[in-house]
Amino acid sequence: MSDNAAEECEADDGRPGRRLALDVHATVRAMILSGELAPGTPLLQAALARSLKVSRTPMREAFRLLQEEGLIENKPDQRAVVRAIDPGEVDAVYTSRVMLESVAVSISVRVATPELVERLAKSLAQMRQYATEEDIDRWQQAHREFHQLTTEGAPMLLDTLAGLSDRAERFLRLAKLGHPQATGRWDTDHEVLVEAFRTRDHDLAVATIAQHLARTAFTAMADIAPRLDAVATRAALNLVLADR
């Protein structure tokens, strides 16, 4: 049996290869987002594979996905490390989110149904429950689902928005952990969005989502680089609000 074939057999624990790689990716990703694997931490595929009881085949695929998300990077000596948070990336990601998510919300709110509003309200209730329980992982998942619901009327943008949301999760967690008081402001924004969708108030929905996303960027930047301003995000916000 070849080394590759042996490795594939070793990786097979009953889950299909792709499913196993995604599970490994989710596990390592959670370790990075939680801070268990801090910025600059070297990531050794063999050691991680042993600790997670998988072969290096799914681990390689997981590393590829993590690199695409900007969570890890390869050094010149080919070692992978947890990537430090770049203020410029925060600004770039949230500039894109402010612009594209505002467009998606603009489209979605015009065709909002009572069923969608009910799902938004349920998602908001879940966020509040998890915030009370201080369960940041489940809160973050409910938060992501809420934003997906507000943009589902723009299917042509969903893949792009999902990629931006992936990259933003680390910044969102940083903002939430570093500034617990921000959760109250975010909760108010989410409540306003539910009501805007209920009444199909286009201008209110677009202004709220743009301000909500920009505030998250500003909060994260206050921790990462307090002397820098999220210039591009602020410009994007002003562009969106200028049309209101």
One DSSP character per residue, the chain reads: --HHHHHHHHH-SSS-HHHHHHHHHHHHHHHHHTTSS-TT-EE-HHHHHHHHT--HHHHHHHHHHHHHTTSEEE-TTS-EEEPPPPHHHHHHHHHHHHHHHHHHHHHHHHT--HHHHHHHHHHHHHHHHHHHTT-HHHHHHHHHHHHHHHHTT-GGGHHHHHHHHHHHHHHHHHHHHH-TTHHHHHHHHHHHHHHHHHHT-HHHHHHHHHHHHHHHHHHHHHHH-TT---HHHHHHHHHHHHT-
Q: What is the pLDDT of residue 14?
A: 52
pTM attached to this predicted model: 0.77
Q: What is the pLDDT of residue 15?
A: 55
Report percent pLDDT > 70 for the chain: 90
Tell me the CATH class for 3-82: mainly alpha
User: Where do the structural domains in the chain lie, given as residue ranges?
Assistant: 3-82, 87-242
| Fold classification of 87-242 (topology level) | Four Helix Bundle (Hemerythrin (Met), subunit A) (1.20.120)
- The per-residue pLDDT string of the chain (244 residues; one tens digit each, 9 = 90 and over) reads 333 433 443 444 455 677 888 899 888 888 887 778 888 899 988 899 899 899 888 998 999 988 887 888 888 777 899 888 888 989 999 999 999 999 999 999 999 999 999 999 999 999 999 999 988 889 989 999 999 999 999 999 999 999 999 888 888 877 766 666 777 889 999 999 999 999 999 999 999 999 999 999 998 888 778 888 999 999 999 999 996 6
Q: What is the pLDDT of residue 8?
A: 42
Rg (CA), the chain: 20
